[in-house]
Structure 1
């Protein structure tokens, strides 16, 4: 495991935090503050409100303005419900090829202000294109369902055959998608804790 002290000493790669959200007015402040409180500067946020009916979009936009984060945050609002995958797809293609994409659901938050630094440290290795992480439930602190990806899956590049409930949050470089289509043969999967 990498130390937080080590993570703070490396070059900051650009991170794009994609937040698909639906009816998360009760959680959006904690969600967004956990992003803006990161001890990291080279990131942007793409927040996609999926046609919420509880005022989520207005809450997020107001919070972004109050915290002075307009320059790094893009807030999008769907006129009809598209669901998470379509929202993530839309946001990812707003990013640059070298961005590290971090997917964070609208009702979730980061546990400490060094998450971006830790992810950045992992991606200093040019062979790392994709990572995954674990989560804890709130308020009981139970660990989630994510499991390590078996080495044979990595070697044979058969990620789509994995059980859909195997991993939790994924982080990846956008360039990974085009590399994956070309069947790259050398790839490391780093487990993010």
Structure 2
């Protein structure tokens, strides 16, 4: 029986210098039934020339060019031009381990309730270390994005939420997508292997510009997913009441001489030593 088709979506905006390394990691997959579409998002570099070399190398690579409209629009364009049952977004400057597709499909086949499958990750480039992210649960997802972009999801589930929101032009599009996909239920599995590699680089003017605009994106997500955040954190009045209660407790503790002495000794001498000394 033919294994399910995986569509790997690689948007590229002026990142031709990294594209070979990214696409080589796709070609190296131990899973063979994949297609990979390179989406040239209005690049001014030699992205098209590099992409064409890969089309000539393997027929599973495809190419699409469009005017620059941001990462969400580029991913949606790629998805619209593919047919896979499973989708894997992959940024042009990142790469994946050779067993990522194989392991992900194995996990999906073991649990029909799964909506998202991802893995452990490492950062490489300017900084090299494991990328430590908190475990998945809806509370942690509400706090911040904890699933990088290169996670697998089913096309049918992506269709239900309209894939990526093209209004998210200043970043946080992955966080918005995972909330949309998971806020009404569905299981998530992290493979306990490092199979994704995230490139780190020096900060650029584009990065700085995006950081200045992220507050706008935070407000947009807060309004779009207001019910999710209320269900996760509770109402404003309840949170405010809890905050007031904590402030009162903190104020009361600070006024307590015993609390201050105990805290000081725990911090500077160690609680066990202090208790023995007093005894």
TM-score range, shorter chain: 0.7 to 0.9
How many residue pairs align between the two structures?
171
Change (3 A) 1:11 1:143: farther
| Alignment-derived partner of residue 212 in structure 2 | none
Q: CA RMSD in A?
A: 2.7
Task: Normalising by structure 1, report the TM-score.
Answer: 0.76
Q: State the Cα deviation string for residues 11-59 of structure 1 (Å, max 9, x = none).
A: 7321100011111221111111110111111111111011112201211
Q: For 1:1-193, what aligned pairs fall within 5 Å after superposition? A: 12-65=3-56, 67=57, 69-70=58-59, 72-78=60-66, 80-96=67-83, 99-111=85-97, 113-124=98-109, 125-139=111-125, 140-144=127-131, 146-150=133-137, 161-163=142-144, 165-168=145-148, 169-178=150-159, 187-192=186-191, 193=193
Gaps of 5+ in 2: 162-179, 194-279
Gaps of 5+ in 1: 1-9, 154-158
Task: Normalising by structure 2, report the TM-score.
Answer: 0.54
Max Rg structure: 2
Inter-partner Cα distance in structure 2 for 1:182 and 1:137: 26
Q: Of the two structures, which has the highest relative contact order with CA contacts closer than 8 Å and spacing of 6 or more?
A: 1
Q: Which is helix-richer, 1 or 2?
A: 2
Change (3 A) 1:89 1:131: same
